[in-house]
Amino acid sequence: MQDYRREYERWLAYPGLDESTRAELTSIANDEKEQEERFYTELEFGTAGLRGIIGAGTNRMNDYVVRRASAGLAEYLSDIEGAKERGVAIAYDSRNRSDSFAREAACTLAAFGVKCYLYSTLHSVPQLSFTVRELKCIAGIVVTASHNPPEYNGYKVYWEHGGQCGPAQAEEILSKIRGLDYFSTKHMNYDEAIESGLIKLIGSEIDEIYYKNTIGLMLNPELVREHGGEIKLVYTPLHGSGYVPVTEVLKRIGMNSVYVVQEQAQPNGDFPTVKAPNPEDPNAFTLAFRLADEVGAGLVIGTDPDSDRLGVAVRDANGKFQTLTGNRIGSILIYYLLGTMKEKGKLPENGLVVKSLVSTGLADAICRSFGVEIKHVLTGFRFIAEQIDLAESTGERTFLFGFEESYGFLAGGFAHDKDAICAAMLVSEAAVYYGAKGKTLLDVLDEIFSIYGFFTEKTKSYTLEGKEGMERIANAMKGLRSEPPMLFGSEECIVYEDFSENRRIDRSTGEESEIGLPKSNVLRYFLPGDAWIIVRPSGTEPKLKLYVGAKADSESATEERLESLLGAADAIVSKLLG
């Protein structure tokens, strides 16, 4: 924690401060609480990079924070032979100031002699991930805050494998950043950097390669070309970067009845038609549902601003739309991909599916039935990317699919982060495939449940802003560790795991063992009959997150059990949060 008042006054006194920032800081001269919030700490740089509210201060996203972070990255790269020449790819989404932050990053890196490949228009996370690998860059940057509210922006750093940088790298980059001042970083003029070749603008040539790779993942391309127009589909980009790539891919594969929500088609960092541009939230689909009713569409999809998350809704037998959870979208795609590969004799014997540990157990059941290995990793798609790299380097496994319950999906592995563009294509392909058999995706979900049992999951988030909120979250995790819950309602915890200590305790025997995953601030509780509970702080937002999964013999029994466990866990967590 730093002396917020001294840092506030230092910023205000800096003679080179731009007038906009000076005016913003002057406006809070009599607001000590606001000064504290902006300056009591610095934005944390971790495996997800930076993320925060746009504004002046060390605890905000602004030009000075972006320049300092970029200078730290540049100094880190300077220690690696050949890194400057290999360069850094930079993309940005539709958020307010994303384009200017991307340019600030490029100009700072260029001042250190680091070559930059900067997209000339907004582009998605998966396209950046792909570009890093395609151009053999040493690193990448995406300026985005994903699906956060409009006041946020962020800065994510990727490594040469196309996934986000790991904990050790993030710590080393952070140590470089901490050694730098906000106001003395090198910075090159943009036009000079372009003229010198240190900044090279990326055009459509990389997009074409990405589209070709994506479309190459289809399992039934002929069927979609023949029948794709029979599936009426509504798509909303939610004012983000998905509009061009998603519509282009769908058009090329033969989905000729795609209707775009025009009010949400154009990029707009204020996201004026939604409370938050989050395809996990059914309210984000309000305009899409209205359009679907007008055109008679039975399928709705939506992508978030940086197009790494995909939401899906399907019209049911009563004519109402049912939004699918990320777990159910992932399960349908696994079932479709593995089933179709087996049907065509293309299912590899060494196939691999990877999921985050907070995602549904239904995926495990499906994979087991097809003889495909499924690995669990910590939350964060970079852990899935690590498994893709491992599979590629050893040749022991063939990566097929990865997903997180938070609406992130990836097939193929040519990109190493979640890819809503590819997922939109695969969902559309699955809809055509099953549609030819007279089934909707809801019918397919019922089929899956009839085979594997009823799995249901829910997530509850506790949003606690600011310094006080972070302290309450830390105290709650401390309380759960000091007195681990033995009972959740009437159900007993049979196995307890503390990932911060890499410790697993079987409560029936008292036996302790290692979990075998990297240490993390996560607690997991197993209950009888495939039920589980997980508590963890978010790595990118001021939230504590509670995950609950249950299984039973019927849908009603599963829902009843889930609600009981969620209520019991919520009572424990809420009490500790005060």
Active site residues per annotation: 146
3-class DSSP state of 455:
strand
- Indicate the length of the chain as a whole number: 578
Question: If we measure between CA atoms, which residue out of 565, 502, 491 comes closest to residue 534?
Answer: 565
Question: If we measure between CA atoms, which residue out of 232, 506, 217, 189 comes closest to residue 336?
Answer: 217
Question: How many whole angstroms separate alpha carbon 97 and alpha carbon 52?
Answer: 13
Strands 233-236 and 152-159, by their bridges, are unpaired
Question: If we measure between CA atoms, which residue out of 247, 250, 251 comes closest to residue 266?
Answer: 247
- Which residues lie closer than 8 Å to 485 by C-beta, 6 or more apart? 493, 525, 569, 572
Q: What phi and psi values does residue 408 have, to the nearest 5 degrees?
A: -110, 130
Angle (CA) 431 280 358, round 5°: 95
DSSP 399-413: EEEEEETTTEEEESS
Side-chain half-sphere exposure of 558, counting CA atoms within 13 A = 19
Characterize 357-392 residue by residue with b for buried, 16 or more Cβ atoms within 10 angstroms of its Cβ, and e for exposed: bbbbbbbbbbbeebebebbbbbbbbbbbbbbbbebe
